[in-house]
């Protein structure tokens, strides 16, 4: 596994055109050895095309792809030494677990004498010791996902690509497997590139997240910075639950929203058209107990929705501008929420007051 951990990826000016349609537009991206990077974006953003270029299933119109010191731009998939976990796992139902995991070794014509140990080692990494003789039909969804991962790792590839590997699982299992894959990555030290359209999944699993839109790389950053410091209105609206509100400049470190002036701890972007990106969980109902220095907004509660672990509170500012906030679902927190029609004040810390260019 050491050789894998020392291998990074470099994508240089990758472009893919299908006639007049530009699926990927001059994307450059460096992935450090052992890093877990997720490609995140809506349908048609170019994330699957970029993964296809990395895997050799899509030929770029221009640009280059390097894995370590090797240019693999036009190398066929079977010559790239890359493990792939597909969306539907692509396991062979007529084969046992052991036979499925051994398939890449067979395809590479590795000596059969070493298969058993490599298969056992790969299954041990995903905590499926002793499952070699099981049939695929006997496995749960989460176990099948682990078998697919073991098969991708068994030949010690330089890079592992994952194409929405958790999308077929139900919500609870998907969230459990996100944590599990994160733990496995730390254990293996492998370089992994993952495609997903699920923002929470990307933030949970990744060292860095690359956000794509219309074939372009918009921002790549750590989950924390991506969430707290979006580079533009698209990233701010796509990550999390943000409400974008028109504001005007009110100094070097403040903006005006209606009659309120809100301070921000971050530099304001250039330009005259600005938007305040308000994440729902960063607005706090102000009970006068410890929000000194925060920005405050007066509003009227319009609706309260119970959503299990949390409540979504919708409100309107004096000029009718709609905002929303998310509060914990505990009884104590619920008692603090005014009834629809009542007035309330919400607080927003300057560190959480994010302004982006419109």
Contact 300, 314 (CB under 8 A): no
φ, ψ (nearest 5 deg) of residue 323: -135, 165
Give the Cα separation of 191 and 31 in Å (integer). Answer: 8
Residue corresponding to tokens 């976990």: 85
pTM score of the predicted model: 0.86
Question: What string of DSSP letters covers 60-123?
Answer: -SEEEEEETTEE-TT--GGGS-EEEE-TTTT--TTSBHHHHHHHHHHHTT--GGGHHHHHHHHH
- DSSP helix/strand/coil, 180: helix
Question: What string of DSSP letters covers 290-356?
Answer: S-TT-EEEEEEEEEEEE-SSEEEEEEEETT--EEEEEEE-SHHHHHHSPPTT-EEEEEE-GGG-EEE
Give the Cα separation of 142 and 173 in Å (integer). Answer: 7
- DSSP helix/strand/coil, 199: helix
Which parts of the chain register pLDDT below 50? 1-5
Angle of helix 115-125 relative to helix 97-107, nearest 10 degrees, comes to 120
Domains of the chain: 2-228 (3.40.50.300), 241-357 (2.40.50.140)
- Of 31, 36, 38, the closest CA to residue 202 belongs to 38
Give the Cα separation of 115 and 128 in Å (integer). Answer: 16
Give the Cα separation of 63 and 293 in Å (integer). Answer: 50
Give the Cα separation of 61 and 265 in Å (integer). Answer: 43
Give the Cα separation of 221 and 235 in Å (integer). Answer: 11
Give the Cα separation of 115 and 154 in Å (integer). Answer: 9
Taking only the tens place, the pLDDT of each residue in 235-255 is 999 998 889 999 999 989 999
- DSSP helix/strand/coil, 127: coil
């Amino acid at each position: 596994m050491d050789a894998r951990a020392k291998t990074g990826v470099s994508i240089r000016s990758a472009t893919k055109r299908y006639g007049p349609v530009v699926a990927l537009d001059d994307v450059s991206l460096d992935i450090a050895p052992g890093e877990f990077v997720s490609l995140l974006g809506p349908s048609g953003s170019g994330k699957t095309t970029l993964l296809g270029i990395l895997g050799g299933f899509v030929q770029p119109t221009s640009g280059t792809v390097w894995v370590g010191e090797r240019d693999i731009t036009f190398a066929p998939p079977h010559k790239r030494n890359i493990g792939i976990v597909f969306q539907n796992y692509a396991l062979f139902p007529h084969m046992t677990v052991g036979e499925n995991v051994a398939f890449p070794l067979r395809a590479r014509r590795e000596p059969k004498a070493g298969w058993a140990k490599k298969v056992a080692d790969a299954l041990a990494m995903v905590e499926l010791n002793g499952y070699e003789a099981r049939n695929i039909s006997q496995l749960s969804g989460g176990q099948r996902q682990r078998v697919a991962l073991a098969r991708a790792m068994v030949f010690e590839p330089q890079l592992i690509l994952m194409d929405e590997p958790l999308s077929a699982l139900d919500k609870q299992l998907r969230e459990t497997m996100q944590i599990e894959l994160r733990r496995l990555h730390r254990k293996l030290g492998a370089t992994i590139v993952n495609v997903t359209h699920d923002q929470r999944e990307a933030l949970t699993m990744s060292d860095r997240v690359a956000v794509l839109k219309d074939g372009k790389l918009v921002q790549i950053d750590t989950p924390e910075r991506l969430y707290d410091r979006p580079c533009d209105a698209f990233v701010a609206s796509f990550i999390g639950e943000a409400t974008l509100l028109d504001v005007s400049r009110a100094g070097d470190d403040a903006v005006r929203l209606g009659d309120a002036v809100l301070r921000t701890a971050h530099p304001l972007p250039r330009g005259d058209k600005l938007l305040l990106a308000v994440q729902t969980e960063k607005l706090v109902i102000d009970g006068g107990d410890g929000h000194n220095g925060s920005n405050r907004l007066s509003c009227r509660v319009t609706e309260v929705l119970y959503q299990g672990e949390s409540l979504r509170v919708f409100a309107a500012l004096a000029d009718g501008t709609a905002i929303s906030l998310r509060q914990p679902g505990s009884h104590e927190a619920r008692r603090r929420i005014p009834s629809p029609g009542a007035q309330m004040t919400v607080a927003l810390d300057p560190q959480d007051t994010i302004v982006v260019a419109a």
